[in-house]
């Protein structure tokens, strides 16, 4: 068999895989930064590939959104597995919450982008159903170890993420890190008595920052 003949298809497959990874990486970044204001042409330019390359893989933006979302879900599930394997149950839980909150704080457009999909609610439910059992194992392990206050449930985990997302969205135009302060406060609220308090490494918003954040939010509502 001619070695050149067999080598060519392998090289093409590798090129295609690299291009797809570039496309997904660019799409994640653009959706995070700009939300709905992204086209497939924008993704192609950011990925450094031809527009035709993107359209051969994705017929429309919704298909690309769906795949980006699936990658997010997979990453979240892997983070939960990593947290469960952490030798310290409390540190594993903190690690998972920090990952999830950082992820949602850095992806301002994820929720809005997902709503473009016709089956958005079903996808959100599927994500919850897939991730919740893994999160529950982390919560249960921390509670059984006595490092988590009694009564905390897996559903509280998702509520905490929602609360942190709200402050992250409100303050994004003036302070992209202040959500960390409120996550630390929440962690102190759910920790067991044996655990040390979290360091408040990020100061609160100043009054002028709060006023600007309110004005920016008001402008965003009027533009819709």
Q: Which residue has the tokens 């360091």?
A: 199
The tens digit of pLDDT for each residue in 73-97 reads 888 889 999 999 999 999 999 999 9
Q: Which of 138, 121, 143, 223 is nearest to 191 (CA)?
A: 143
Query: Do the Cβ atoms of 65 and 112 come closer than 8 Å?
Result: no
Question: Quick one: pLDDT at residue 5?
Answer: 44
Average pLDDT over residues 39-61: 90
Question: Quick one: pLDDT at residue 222?
Answer: 57
Question: Quick one: pLDDT at residue 32?
Answer: 78
The tens digit of pLDDT for each residue in 90-147 reads 999 999 999 998 888 877 666 666 666 677 677 777 777 888 888 999 999 999 999 9
Residue ranges and CATH numbers for the domains of the chain are 1-59 (1.10.10.60), 61-223 (1.10.357.10)
The tens digit of pLDDT for each residue in 155-199 reads 898 889 888 888 988 888 899 899 999 999 999 999 988 778 888
Query: Do the Cβ atoms of 192 and 148 come closer than 8 Å?
Result: yes
Query: Do the Cβ atoms of 182 and 163 come closer than 8 Å?
Result: yes
Hey, which residues does 148 pair with through a beta bridge? Answer: 191
Q: Which residue has the tokens 């303050």?
A: 171
Q: Which of 121, 133, 117, 105 is nearest to 60 (CA)?
A: 117
């Amino acid at each position: 068999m001619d070695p050149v003949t067999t080598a060519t298809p392998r090289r093409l497959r590798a090129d295609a895989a690299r291009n797809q990874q570039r496309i997904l990486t660019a799409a994640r970044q653009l959706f995070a930064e700009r939300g709905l204001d992204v086209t497939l042409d924008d993704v192609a330019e950011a990925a450094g590939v031809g527009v035709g390359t993107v359209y051969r893989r994705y017929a429309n933006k919704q298909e690309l959104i769906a795949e980006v979302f699936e990658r997010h879900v997979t990453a979240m599930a892997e983070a939960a597995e990593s947290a469960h394997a952490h030798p310290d149950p409390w540190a594993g839980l903190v690690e998972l919450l920090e990952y999830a909150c950082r992820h949602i704080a850095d992806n301002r457009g994820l929720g809005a982008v997902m709503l473009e999909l016709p089956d958005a609610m079903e996808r959100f439910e599927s994500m919850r159903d897939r991730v919740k059992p893994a999160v529950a194992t982390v919560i249960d392990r921390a509670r059984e170890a006595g490092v988590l206050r009694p009564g905390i449930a897996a559903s509280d985990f998702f509520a905490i993420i929602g609360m942190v997302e709200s402050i992250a969205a409100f303050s994004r135009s003036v302070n992209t890190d202040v959500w960390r302060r409120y996550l630390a406060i929440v962690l102190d609220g759910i920790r067991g008595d044996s655990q040390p308090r979290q360091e408040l490494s990020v100061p609160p918003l100043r009054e002028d920052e709060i006023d600007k954040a309110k004005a920016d939010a008001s402008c965003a509502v009027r533009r819709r």
